[in-house]
Amino acid sequence: MKVIVVKDYNEMSNVATDIMYDVISNKPDCVLGLATGSTPEGLYANLVALYREGKLDFSKVSSVNLDEYYPLAPENDQSYRYFMNTHLFDHVNIDKANTYVPNGLAQDPEAACKAHEDKIDELGGMDIQVLGIGQNGHIGFNEPSDNPIPFTHMENLTESTIKANARFFESEADVPTRALTMGIQSIMKARKIIILASGKSKAAAIKATLKDEPTPRCPASLLYSHPDVTVICDEDAYSLC
Ligand code: PGA
């Protein structure tokens, strides 16, 4: 994995923006693999700014998202569909019909997972996948496990993830305990992967990803075998390496 260590969150967002800018400019009909959470907010704000300056065109772009809480309606302001609309899609000229977030209200979640995986394949895989990283090393909602499920599936969230995400909800009890998520092998379908990390709370996960033996107990470390992964982290996130 390539590693870029930067000073702070803003620099992390700027480096990620430059990489995304190149992908979208060089291939106007590219497929973006997108992530939610606090980490990519700066990146999305930068992309919106570039669009407003006339420097980026999303009209032919498609996107697939990593994950979605289950069960949660897309209109719920904690859903990842809502996040993507409000942080990116509503502000650029992407055709929302070409944006795919797993269906958090699917009657048949297994079928919804298969449909998401099929969509990734139909689109020919992602040109770039953006990832944050959980404090426990999760990517998407692939939690530490001895037997990771390779493709899009339902995942039970760990206590650490529920606690970490409670800040977005009124209380911890409101955080859904399950999610639909791409698997590690779904993520590996991307031709290029960037992992973004900022802050001391991510330092242990970044160390486990970059310095320790790859293990499904730290899902991000399993990306070691992918040929084009760049970890962009700030000094705090890199501080245990
Ligand atoms: P965060 O979440 O960006 O909100 O820190 C990252 C993750 O859990 O994957």
Structure confidence at residue 192 (pLDDT): 98
Q: How confident is the model at residue 234 (pLDDT cuts 50, 70, 90)?
A: very high
Is 140 a pocket residue for ligand 1 (Cβ < 6 Å)? no
Do 23 and 128 touch, CB atoms closer than 8 A?
A: yes
Structure confidence at residue 1 (pLDDT): 97
Residues near 29 by Cβ (< 8 Å), separated by ≥ 6? Answer: 60, 61, 62
Structure confidence at residue 162 (pLDDT): 95
Catalytic residue from among 46, 65, 103, 136: 136
CA of 161 to the centre of ligand 1 (A): 9
Structure confidence at residue 72 (pLDDT): 95
**Helix 80-87 / helix 41-52 crossing angle, nearest 10 deg:** 40
| 29 tagged catalytic | no
| 136 tagged catalytic | yes
Catalytic residue from among 65, 117, 127, 138: 138
Average pLDDT of the segment spanning 115-119: 98
Q: How confident is the model at residue 74 (pLDDT cuts 50, 70, 90)?
A: very high
CA-CA distance, 139 to 208, in Å (whole number)? 13
Closest to 149 measured CA to CA, from 179, 105, 172, 125: 179
Atom of ligand 1 nearest to the CA of 141: 9
| 170 tagged catalytic | no
Domains defined for the chain, CATH in brackets: 2-189+205-234 (3.40.50.1360)
Q: Which residues in 106-192 belong to E strands, given as ranges?
A: 128-131, 153-156, 178-181
Measured by CA distance, the residue closest to atom 7 of ligand 1 is: 134
Do 69 and 63 touch, CB atoms closer than 8 A?
A: no
Q: What order of strands is seen across the sheet that includes strand 67-70?
A: 67-70, 178-181, 153-156
